[in-house]
Amino acid sequence: MSKLKGILFDFDGTIVNSEESRYQSIKHILKEFKINFTKSDWETRYKSFGTTKIFEIFKKQTKANWNCEELYDKAHKFRMEYEKSHGVPIISGFNGFLEQLKQNNISSIVCTGGKTSHFDFVLNLTKLDIQGFGREFYTNRKPAPDCWEYGLKKLNLKKENVLIFDDSFTGLQAGNNANIKAIAINCSEDISNLQIWQNHKNYKNLNLKNLIKEFENSSN
């Protein structure tokens, strides 16, 4: 019987390419304050931060009198409209990989750093068949391990029997902090100083049987 019994997935950037809509929403709000928020800024400095945290950083830099929670709400509304009109692409090969998990009776759950309401909204848009929860269900955000540890409880599994999939430095760092094997997917950040078990551009070439075999060998 396989030692690999479950997968804990991040969501934005790991399963769906919804980070583009988040970038566009933040850029839209900052533009109102005449701040040029470039794609390079996003990819190299800010992508790992939550949206409210990003507004707090710019508030401190500009010494502006912002209500960051109100800005988050405005950005979130823009983001949802953007996703309705532009769609939310699924990371290449994910549906096939998810089907392999189901056929092999390996549990999966999404442990997103976003709100559960947004997770449900994107699920409805994409018709993805996967369960998950948002940041309302755990205390400390990544890189704290809380998100992944709550996922373990939901699946009723031990950390030595699961893998984490995430696209960001902070999410993978949270995996390290939880002492769970981590796989980087669609990651554009420098993660060279983290302990990453595997690194893949997408799910297209991920064969579950091979992954199970490699997991078994690494656990011996």
Residue the block writes with tokens 């190299």: 44
**pLDDT at position 2 over 80:** no
Whether 40 and 115 share a structural domain: no
Whether 189 and 96 share a structural domain: yes
Whether 80 and 95 share a structural domain: no
Over the stretch 78-123, which tens digit does the pLDDT of each residue have? 999 999 999 999 999 999 999 999 999 999 999 999 899 999 999 9
Percentage of the chain modeled with pLDDT above 90:
91
Whether 194 and 126 share a structural domain: yes
Average pLDDT of the segment spanning 182-194? 94
Whether 70 and 126 share a structural domain: no
Over the stretch 121-146, which tens digit does the pLDDT of each residue have? 999 999 999 999 999 999 999 999 99
Which pLDDT score, from 0 to 100, does residue 220 have?
Answer: 64
Of 35, 51, 86, the residue that ends a domain is 86
**pLDDT at position 16 over 80:** yes
Whether 131 and 167 share a structural domain: yes
Percentage of the chain modeled with pLDDT above 70:
99
**pLDDT at position 1 over 70:** no
Instruction: Tell me whether residue 1 is in a domain.
Output: no
Whether 173 and 201 share a structural domain: yes
Whether 153 and 163 share a structural domain: yes
Whether 10 and 116 share a structural domain: yes
Instruction: Tell me whether residue 167 is in a domain.
Output: yes
Range of the domain at 120: 6-17+90-219
Whether 123 and 38 share a structural domain: no
Distance (Å, whole) CA 82 – CA 102: 32
